[in-house]
């Protein structure tokens, strides 16, 4: 027979004023299983807890119900209290007679009745509580960072500096991301490469960081502290172990293709580094461009290479490694504006370029060595139109959100044009100017003082006439039509999530929103965590942001990772789902419903008459299960039960209310 | 059976731990007032609420049942309440098909901040059910007899 | 047609891949048939195919989940959907089955009037000419009839029905969607289903079963056929199906072997009525 003790708290007068606590305690004595009940002024106080502990001993109780404030307040307190007693901390139920009774009711008689009902429900439930035990899982002290942009670089460096091993995976042949393409950064106008390349070099030289470029995530298994990640290292066709990066192959390669790094404004050889300061500073062969790999002709680089690094037989390699934590830092790309905005020429005018193309144009290491020249005829443009919010804040054609950085780099572009081209005219079309950041508003102000013209309105059409780009728009402040004869147009286009984020999110069991941005665990209070334990995020993969925010977030994610990896093991909640394999039919209905991918179907051996057969059953991964209970309802048989909220416990609560 | 004087309905509300239960606690902190006949059962997520619990509650003598959880999109477990939504859209209709008055079973999304919504919803449900009188449908004869005494 | 089916059976036995084949055989009543388990070519002679072949041949395979040889099943349209149901629910493996599909001509069973799939949806061999088929306008007639009643009328309608129910569980036993290892109603420790025989418990059973199978019901009507008390069981599951059609788009279950029941899915754009 169970021996239940019921403890009714006065909470000073908070409860006792509206609920006759003595009557509740008296009524509780008649509930099945209850052998003891009493009241106390403050159960949560030290003397209160001591009284409960003493009573447990004296009355030989094996489970208790505390009628007090909400369990969200003191469930943890009382569980801790029980740790020192012979009662398991989970042999406890709390009846919420304060927040959901005494504080919300005025009629003492009725409130007391309700408190008795709530106590009875809790007693009925606690009778079916089983002792539960937390288990601890070991933590692999290695982190995986996915994405080698400034977010990933910063996170990797911070984690590595704290003394933990990091593997940094980048799908391109060099780390650096979008920041490496930029010229100067607002509002300080320091050179982007000058501040990011030292960090890139730090990554390559850090003893705790293993860099895997040209690599992508193939699959992810396991759970917090114990992820098994398979990484596909794409064929480089160059043996980086012996290559010195002399660059001979690059200069002699006869094939030239459009350079992605230069945003299509220049060409690159089929073998080579992504850009001059690439890390690692060693070339790879682009299999989609290399003549030798496409039709077997050429092979010049192999003949020229003094060390024999070229290997046309190279193949993709799959490596599986164990990690304790994962940081997602996959960043963004720019929206494909061509199809969405045919009124801007849809890409047919060479001198209508994106902000990122402008960055390459104005970059000293770019195709025009920093001279702003029209891509069509390499002449210096005199009148330049900048259009902001192309694809952003445009739910009909593009994205509903604001891309956050465009107002500032738009101002920076205007500044750079005015700085580099004497007598240039810059007209910026905008919806709003948003400059929330330190020294941002001042920068924007200065740009206008320098002579940039800001016109509030959208450009409705761009067409070519006599070698000029005519931009038709409206100045909505003056309510009149505007036409600008421009030599060049810069579109500040929207950021969109990197390709493949949905697949990656699927593998990691994390959520993305309708746009594809990774969803954080809580928008305010858990901004760098995801809903999957051990998976963190930073940078633009979570939503558009500028470099300072990205770096700050990377540091935050790193500190979460360090906090996790500093532990040798972690406790898991015992309130997770459990499968009764004998009843499980293996229908797999629960598998899809689990938001954490904690359920898998596995074959187990069972005796079936004279033979042993393989029976498929659901298995719960205790490290992944977060205890939501969605699977319980999916199971018609009821063979998955959430410990602490089992079917019979809830049914007993229902029944006992109705008695 | 005539409705007894001072009859109070029994109303059961399944509330998810992260939103509605918190909202109900907040109603308490703000000392909002609502009828005493509403009893909350705490569940981790509205997706833990098996539609069979609802049938059970009516069978055992509840006059009204509520299921409340986070707003879709705000689920603590990301997707739980999307399943809840489908389950109870169908269960509600099935109950109506079997003669349960739609006002006796109510499903609502109430966030942790919406204490006032919690108060308003439970008050409204309680008043509606009070006006309707005791539920006799699906009830076990034992309880009906007990009530008649 | 019977000869073609027999030939298909003989061929199947000849191949040596099939252990036994499930079909129908005559009884001493002219208007009744009973399931037939043919274990060799000699048994094929006993096979019959007439309008009294009303038993579903599909669910027997559940009793033999780990067969040494393939299980042969002669399928009508509804039986094929039953097999598809059980494969979708991962209770049968397609590779363990040898399916002889027969285009059905309608049997001596009221459910056949609203049949929308006389041609089997899965099979290894098909006998007969596939017919053009459409969903019967009468599919939800019974549901709509009940929908027109007031709540009290509806309750009284079902009260009369469930007062008759003897909870023999025949509807469950015959249902291809009821393929749990252990039915919730047979469990005693969780307390889902009281054992008392009264209207309330019968209703709990009826509603729970409808909810359990409603999003997977293949509308074969076996539950109503076997019910000794003539309960309109289908109108419970068809109520679920009608709502699923209304809320989530046209749905017929058991048409493929990789089906995703609506209660196991969600859509961000589902109708919102709980705000």
For A499-508, write each residue's pLDDT tens digit. Answer: 999 999 988 9
Residues of B with CB under 8 A from a CB of A: 8, 10, 12, 17, 21-22, 24-25, 27-29, 31-34, 36-37, 39-45, 47-51, 53, 56-57, 60-62, 76-80, 83, 87, 119, 143
| Residue A377: Cβ within 10 Å count | 11
In chain A, the residue whose alpha carbon lies closest to the alpha carbon of C180 is A585
Q: Strand, coil or helix: what is A395?
A: coil
Contacts of A76 (CB under 8 A, 6+ apart): none
Q: What pLDDT does A128 receive?
A: 95
A vs C, Cβ pairs < 8 A, gives 58
Whether B6 has a pLDDT exceeding 90, the answer reads no
Reported as type and span, the H/E element at residue A64 is: strand A63-68
Q: Are residues A476 and A336 in the same domain?
A: yes
Whether B1 has a pLDDT exceeding 60, the answer reads no
Q: Are residues A316 and A339 in the same domain?
A: no
Q: What is the CA radius of gyration of chain B?
A: 15
- Whether A602 has its CB under 8 Å from any CB of chain C: the answer is no
Answer CATH for B11-148 from 3.30.870, 3.40.5, 1.10.260, 3.40.50: 3.40.50
Surface-to-core class of residue A395, CB atoms within 10 Å of its CB (0-12 exposed, 13-18 middle, 19+ buried): exposed
What is the nearest CA distance from B106 to chain A, expressed in angstroms?
A: 16
User: 């579109």: which residue's tokens?
Assistant: A491
Q: How far apart are CA C180 and CA A423, in angstroms?
A: 81
Domain assignments of chain B as residue spans, ordered by start: 11-148
Average pLDDT for residues C85-97, to the nearest whole number? 96
Q: What pLDDT does A221 receive?
A: 87
CATH code, A426: 3.50.50.60
Cis-peptide, bond into residue A280, ω within 30° of zero: yes
Annotate A373-417 with three-state secondary structure: CCCCCCCCCCEEEEEEEECCCCCCCCCCCCCCCHHHHHHHHHHHH
User: 């063979």: which residue's tokens?
Assistant: A639
In chain B, the residue whose alpha carbon lies closest to the alpha carbon of C191 is B56
Tell how far CA C141 is from the center of its chain: 19
Q: How far apart are CA A337 and CA A389, in angstroms?
A: 11
In chain B, the residue whose alpha carbon lies closest to the alpha carbon of C184 is B52
Which chains sit next to C, with 3 or more Cβ pairs under 8 A?
A: A, B
What is the nearest CA distance from A583 to chain C, expressed in angstroms?
A: 6
- Would the CB atoms of C266 and B79 count as touching at under 8 Å? yes
What is the nearest CA distance from B88 to chain C, expressed in angstroms?
A: 9
Are C244 and C217 a contacting pair, CB within 8 Å?
A: no
Whether C13 has a pLDDT exceeding 90, the answer reads yes
Q: Are residues A424 and A540 in the same domain?
A: no
Contacts of A203 (CB under 8 A, 6+ apart): A148, A153, A156, A157, A168, A175, A209, A211, A279
Tokens standing for B106? 């109510």
In chain C, the residue whose alpha carbon lies closest to the alpha carbon of B60 is C200
Q: What Å distances lie between residue A10 and A17, A44, A66, A67, C99, CA to CA?
A: 8, 11, 11, 9, 71
Q: Are residues A462 and A609 in the same domain?
A: no
Q: Which of B85, B108, B140 lies at the smallest CB-CB distance from C200?
A: B140
Q: Which residues of B are less than 8 Å from A70 in CB distance? A: 21, 25, 28
| Residue C60: Cβ within 10 Å count | 15
pLDDT digits (tens, 9 = 90+) for B15-38: 999 999 999 999 999 999 999 999
Q: How far apart are CA C79 and CA C77, in angstroms?
A: 5
- Mutation test of the interface with chain C: which of B90, B96, B110, B141, choosing the one with the most C Cβ atoms within 10 A? B90
Q: Which of C91, C184, C191 lies at the smallest CB-CB distance from A637?
A: C184
Q: Which of B56, B72, B98 lies at the smallest CB-CB distance from C154?
A: B98
> Nearest-5° angle of CA A353, CA A357, CA A358?
85
Tokens standing for A468? 């000029």
DSSP string for residues in A125-155: HHTT------EEEE---EEEEE--SHHHHHH
Q: How far apart are CA A30 and CA A4, in angstroms?
A: 11
Q: Strand, coil or helix: what is C185?
A: helix
Domain assignments of chain C as residue spans, ordered by start: 2-127, 141-264
- Mutation test of the interface with chain B: which of C185, C216, C274, choosing the one with the most B Cβ atoms within 10 A? C274
Q: Are residues A255 and A389 in the same domain?
A: no
Whether B143 has a pLDDT exceeding 80, the answer reads no
CATH code, A628: 3.30.70.3270
- Whether A417 has its CB under 8 Å from any CB of chain C: the answer is no
- Whether C148 has its CB under 8 Å from any CB of chain B: the answer is no
B vs C, Cβ pairs < 8 A, gives 111
Phi then psi dihedrals of residue C134, to 5 deg: -145, 160
Are A195 and A185 a contacting pair, CB within 8 Å?
A: yes
Q: Which domain holds residue A103?
A: 4-126
Tokens standing for A487? 């030599």
In chain C, the residue whose alpha carbon lies closest to the alpha carbon of A631 is C264
Q: What pLDDT does B142 receive?
A: 63
Average pLDDT for residues B119-144, to the nearest whole number? 89
* pLDDT tier, B146 (very low <50, low <70, confident <90, very high otherwise): low
Q: Are residues A560 and A596 in the same domain?
A: no
- Whether B90 has its CB under 8 Å from any CB of chain C: the answer is yes
Are C261 and C85 a contacting pair, CB within 8 Å?
A: no
In chain A, the residue whose alpha carbon lies closest to the alpha carbon of B10 is A658
- Would the CB atoms of B52 and C272 count as touching at under 8 Å? no
Q: Which residues of C are less than 8 Å from A581 in CB distance? A: none
Query: Do the bridges between strand A468-475 and strand A459-465 make them parallel or antiparallel, or are there none, so unpaired?
Result: antiparallel
Q: How far apart are CA A457 and CA A453, in angstroms?
A: 12
Surface-to-core class of residue A557, CB atoms within 10 Å of its CB (0-12 exposed, 13-18 middle, 19+ buried): buried
Q: What is the rounded (10 degree) CA torsion for A337, A340, A342, A345?
A: 0
- Would the CB atoms of A99 and B24 count as touching at under 8 Å? yes
Closest C-alpha among A178, A103, A546 to residue A360 = A178
- Mutation test of the interface with chain C: which of B97, B101, B137, choosing the one with the most C Cβ atoms within 10 A? B97
Q: Which residues of C are less than 8 Å from B109 in CB distance? A: 274-275
- Write down the pTM of the prediction: 0.78
DSSP string for residues in A338-355: HHH-GGGTTT--TTEEEH
**Hey, which bits of chain C come out as E strands?**
18-26, 33-38, 70-75, 97-102, 125-127
Is the CA virtual torsion A342, A343, A349, A351 positive or negative? negative
Tokens standing for A465? 């006439």
Longest dimension (CA), chain B: 48
Tokens standing for A512? 């993305």
Average pLDDT over all residues of chain C: 94
In chain A, the residue whose alpha carbon lies closest to the alpha carbon of C187 is A637
ipTM, interface predicted TM-score of the complex: 0.95
Q: Are residues A119 and A177 in the same domain?
A: no
- Residue A513 half-sphere exposure toward CB, CA atoms < 13 A: 18
Phi then psi dihedrals of residue B54, to 5 deg: -70, -45
Q: What pLDDT does A455 receive?
A: 96
Which chains sit next to B, with 3 or more Cβ pairs under 8 A?
A: A, C
Q: Are residues A147 and A116 in the same domain?
A: no
- Would the CB atoms of C243 and B90 count as touching at under 8 Å? yes
Q: How far apart are CA C88 and CA A148, in angstroms?
A: 43
Tokens standing for C272? 């919102």
Q: Strand, coil or helix: what is A300?
A: helix
Q: Are residues A234 and A272 in the same domain?
A: yes
Write out residues in chain A with pLDDT < 70, as ranges.
none
Average pLDDT over all residues of chain B: 91
């Amino acid at each position: 027979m169970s021996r239940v003790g019921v403890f009714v708290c006065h909470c000073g007068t908070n409860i006792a004023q509206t609920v006759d606590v003595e009557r509740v305690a008296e009524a509780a004595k008649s509930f099945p299983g209850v052998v003891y009940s009493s009241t106390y002024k403050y159960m949560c106080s030290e003397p209160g807890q001591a009284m409960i502990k003493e009573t447990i001993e004296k009355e030989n109780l094996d489970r208790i119900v505390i009628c007090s404030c909400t369990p969200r307040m003191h469930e943890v307190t009382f569980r801790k209290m029980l740790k020192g007693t012979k009662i398991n901390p989970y042999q406890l139920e709390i009846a919420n007679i304060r927040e959901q009774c005494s504080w919300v009711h005025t009629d003492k008689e009725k409130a007391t009745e309700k408190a008795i009902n709530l106590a009875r429900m809790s007693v009925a439930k606690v009778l079916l509580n089983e002792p539960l035990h937390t288990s601890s899982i070991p933590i692999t002290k290695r982190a995986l960072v996915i994405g080698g942009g400034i977010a990933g670089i910063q996170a990797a460096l911070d984690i590595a500096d704290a003394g933990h091993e990091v593997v940094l995976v980048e799908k391109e042949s060099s780390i650096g991301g979008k920041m490496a393409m930029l010229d100067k950064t607002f509002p300080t106008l320091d050179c982007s490469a000058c501040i990011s390349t030292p960090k890139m070099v730090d990554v390559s030289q850090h003893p705790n960081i293993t860099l895997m470029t040209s690599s992508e995530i193939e699959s992810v298994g396991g759970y917090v502290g114990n992820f098994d990640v398979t990484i596909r290292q794409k064929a480089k066709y160059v043996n980086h172990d012996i290559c010195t990066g002399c660059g001979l192959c690059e200069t002699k390669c006869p094939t030239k293709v459009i350079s992605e790094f230069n945003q299509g404004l220049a060409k690159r050889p089929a073998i080579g580094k992504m850009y001059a300061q690439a890390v690692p500073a060693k070339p790879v062969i682009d299999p989609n461009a290399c003549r030798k790999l496409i039709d077997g002709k050429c092979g010049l680089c192999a003949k020229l290479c003094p060390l024999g690094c070229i290997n046309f037989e190279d193949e993709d390699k799959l490596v599986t490694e164990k990690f304790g934590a994962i940081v997602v830092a996959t960043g963004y790309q720019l929206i494909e504006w061509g199809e969405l905005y045919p009124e801007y020429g849809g890409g047919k005018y060479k001198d209508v370029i994106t902000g990122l193309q402008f960055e390459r144009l104005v970059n000293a290491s770019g195709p025009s060595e920093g001279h702003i020249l029209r891509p069509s005829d390499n002449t210096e443009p005199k009148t330049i139109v900048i259009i902001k919010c192309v694809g952003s804040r445009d739910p009909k054609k593009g994205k509903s959100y604001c891309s956050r950085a465009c107002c500032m780099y738009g101002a920076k572009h205007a500044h750079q044009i005015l700085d580099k081209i004497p007598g240039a005219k810059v007209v910026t079309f905008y919806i709003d100017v948003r400059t929330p950041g330190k020294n941002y508003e001042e920068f924007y102000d200065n740009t206008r003082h320098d002579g940039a013209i800001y016109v509030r309105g959208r450009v409705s059409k761009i067409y070519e006439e006599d070698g000029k780009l005519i931009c038709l728009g409206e100045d909505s402040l003056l309510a009149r039509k505007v036409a600008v004869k421009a030599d060049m147009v810069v579109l500040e286009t929207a950021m969109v999530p990197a390709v493949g984020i949905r697949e990656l999110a699927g593998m990691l069991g994390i959520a993305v929103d309708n746009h594809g941005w990774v969803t954080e665990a809580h928008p305010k209070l858990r901004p760098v965590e995801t809903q999957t334990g051990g998976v963190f995020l930073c940078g633009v993969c979570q939503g558009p942001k500028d470099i300072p925010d990205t770096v700050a977030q990377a540091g935050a994610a790193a500190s979460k990772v360090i906090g996790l990896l500093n532990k040798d093991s972690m406790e898991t909640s015992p309130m997770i789902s459990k499968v009764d394999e004998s009843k499980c039919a293996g229908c797999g209905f629960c598998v899809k419903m689990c938001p954490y991918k904690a359920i898998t179907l596995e074959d187990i051996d069972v005796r079936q008459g004279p033979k042993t057969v393989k029976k498929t059953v659901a298995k719960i991964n205790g490290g992944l299960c977060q205890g939501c209970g969605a699977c319980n309802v999916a199971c018609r048989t009821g063979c998955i039960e959430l410990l602490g909220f089992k079917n019979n416990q809830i049914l007993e609560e229902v029944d006992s209310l109705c008695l | 059976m005539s409705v007894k004087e001072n009859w109070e309905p029994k109303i059961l509300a399944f509330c998810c731990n992260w939103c509605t239960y918190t909202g109900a606690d907040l109603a308490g902190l703000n000392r909002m007032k609502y009828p005493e006949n509403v009893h909350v059962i705490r569940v981790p997520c509205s997706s833990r609420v098996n539609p069979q619990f609802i049938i059970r509650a009516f069978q055992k003598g509840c006059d009204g049942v509520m299921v409340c959880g986070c707003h879709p999109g705000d689920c603590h477990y990301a997707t739980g309440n999307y399943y809840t939504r489908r389950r109870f859209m169908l269960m509600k209709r099935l109950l109506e098909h079997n003669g349960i008055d739609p006002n006796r079973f109510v499903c609502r999304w109430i966030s942790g901040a919406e204490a006032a919504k919690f108060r308003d919803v439970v008050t409204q449900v309680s008043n509606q059910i009070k006006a309707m009188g005791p539920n006799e449908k699906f009830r076990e004869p034992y309880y009906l007899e007990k009530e008649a005494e | 047609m019977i000869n073609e089916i027999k030939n298909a059976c003989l061929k199947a036995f000849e191949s040596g891949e099939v252990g036994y084949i499930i079909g129908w055989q005559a009884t001493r009543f002219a208007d009744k048939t009973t399931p037939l388990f043919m274990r060799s070519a000699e048994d094929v002679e006993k096979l019959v195919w007439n309008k009294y072949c009303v038993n579903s041949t599909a669910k027997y395979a559940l009793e033999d989940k780990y067969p040494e040889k393939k299980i042969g099943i002669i399928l009508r349209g509804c039986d094929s959907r039953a097999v598809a149901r059980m494969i979708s629910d991962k209770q049968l493996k397609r590779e363990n089955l040898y399916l002889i599909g027969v285009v059905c001509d309608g049997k001596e069973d009221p459910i056949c009037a609203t049949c929308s799939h006389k041609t089997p949806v899965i099979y290894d061999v098909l006998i007969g000419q596939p017919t053009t088929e459409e969903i019967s306008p009468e599919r939800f007639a019974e549901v709509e009839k009940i929908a027109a009643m007031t709540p009290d009328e509806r309750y009284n309608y079902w009260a009369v029905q469930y007062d008759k129910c003897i909870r023999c569980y025949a509807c469950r036993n015959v249902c291809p969607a009821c393929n749990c290892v252990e039915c919730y109603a047979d469990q005693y420790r969780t307390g889902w289903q009281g054992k008392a025989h009264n209207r309330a418990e019968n209703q709990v059973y009826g509603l729970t079963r409808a909810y359990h199978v409603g999003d997977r019901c293949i509308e074969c009507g076996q539950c109503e056929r076997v019910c000794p008390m003539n309960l309109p069981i289908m109108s419970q599951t068809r109520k679920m199906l009608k709502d699923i059609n209304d809320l989530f788009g046209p749905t017929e279950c058991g048409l493929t072997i990789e089906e995703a029941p609506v209660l196991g899915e969600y859509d961000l754009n589902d109708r919102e009525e709980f705000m």
